[in-house]
Structure 1
């Protein structure tokens, strides 16, 4: 058996298992988010909102990872934009959780913000200089040469293209 085919089969099997695990995590995360509505109703709004923000951002991270694995499973390549999107969401989640819990110092939040800025720049550059976009230098378009008609077809074409003058 060819080692490349074996590698492809093994990675396909692993990504399929991971996709099912991520799908299960997505379903359970959504159910947990819906169940956390009770914190808003029965406890303080601040505590419930903190739980909801954390859960929703976590679900978005799982969705982004799911998208990255589906893209890898279909195209056998990892897109830098998918990975940076997931990382940006993770950093945003950590900033949001830290701000609500008020457990981070300004130095840590500042460092996460700089990391977020760098990731945003990487994301913009990855989109701008994407290898999927082939940049072709502009070349003049050649005019299509039609074969010349002879006989009755040429006579009809000449008659219909000449302006009528009286």
Structure 2
């Protein structure tokens, strides 16, 4: 048996199992979120809101991971945008939990904000320079030759005006 084919079958089986686990986690997370409505009704609004925010953000993280694994299962590649989206959601969740529970200092929140900024820049660059789309300009041979011609002085010692 070909080792590449065996590897492909093994990774497909593992990804399929992970997809079922993520689907189960998504269903349980949604049920938990719906059950936490009771915290808003029977306890304080602040405590209930804290539970709801963390539960909803956790469900969004699972949805994003599910999307990344489905994309890997269909296309056999991992998109950088899917991974950065999931990481951004994780950082946002940690910031929200830290702000509502008031257990983090401003230094930790600031470092998470800087991490969020860096992840946002990485995501923007991943979208702009995606291998699937050609939004960026690659230098052509003609363009490179015209640039070299412009840089080299002509016979009279002047640069061309093109």
TM-score band w.r.t. shorter chain: 0.7 to 0.9
Residue 39 of structure 2 corresponds to which residue in structure 1?
Answer: 39
Deviations along 1:48-90, one digit per CA (max 9) or x if unpaired, are 0000000000000000000000000000000000000000000
Residue 95 of structure 2 corresponds to which residue in structure 1?
Answer: 95
Residue 77 of structure 2 corresponds to which residue in structure 1?
Answer: 77
Which structure: larger Rg? Answer: 1
- The CA RMSD measured in Å over matched residues stands at 1.1
Q: Which runs of 5+ in 1 are unaligned?
A: 138-166
- Distance of 2:22 and 2:46 partners within structure 1: 29
Q: Which runs of 5+ in 2 are unaligned?
A: 139-162
Residue 51 of structure 1 corresponds to which residue in structure 2?
Answer: 51
- Distance of 2:56 and 2:133 partners within structure 1: 33
Residue 4 of structure 1 corresponds to which residue in structure 2?
Answer: 4
- Distance of 1:42 and 1:116 partners within structure 2: 35
TM-score w.r.t. the length of structure 1 is 0.81
- Distance of 1:117 and 1:54 partners within structure 2: 21
Q: How many matched pairs?
A: 137
More moved, 46-55 vs 128-137: 128-137
Report how far residue 134 of structure 1 moved. 3.2
- Distance of 2:134 and 2:60 partners within structure 1: 31
- Distance of 1:92 and 1:35 partners within structure 2: 23
TM-score w.r.t. the length of structure 2 is 0.83
Residue 156 of structure 1 corresponds to which residue in structure 2?
Answer: none
Give runs of ≥4 in structure 1 deviating > 4 Å: none
